[in-house]
Amino acid sequence: MKKKLLILALAIAATAGFAGCSRYNQKEIELRDQGIAAMDEGRYEDAIALFDEALGCSIGTVTDLELDVDYFKAAAQFKNGQFEDAATTYSYLIKYDEKNYKPYFLRGSIYASEGEIGQAIKDYDAAVAIDEKNYLLYIEIYENLNALGYTNQGLAYLNNALEVTDKSPEAKYFKGRIYYMLGQTAEAEKLLKEAIEKDVIDAKLYLAKIYQDTGDYVSAQDLLEEYAESDQVTSDALGTLGDIELSSGNYDNALGYYDAGLSLDSIGNMPQLMKGKAAALEKLYRFDEAKEVITQYLESYPNDEEAAKELVFLQTR
Write down the domain spans for the chain: 234-317
CATH classification (class only), 234-317: mainly alpha
Q: What pLDDT, on a 0 to 100 scale, did the predictor assign at position 20?
A: 47
Q: How far is Cα 301 from Cα 42, in angstroms, rounded to an integer?
A: 7
How does pLDDT run across 79-117, given as a tens digit for each residue?
A: 899 999 999 999 999 999 888 999 999 999 999 999 999
Q: Considering the chain, what percentage of its residues have pLDDT values greater than 90?
A: 59
Q: What is the pLDDT of residue 245?
A: 87
Q: Which of 58-62, 78-82, 173-177, 224-228 has the lowest mean pLDDT?
A: 58-62
Report the mean per-residue pLDDT for the chain.
88
pLDDT of residue 6: 44
- Taking 90 as the threshold, does the pLDDT of residue 77 lie above it? yes
Residue 12: pLDDT band with limits 50, 70, 90: very low
pLDDT at 7 over 70: no
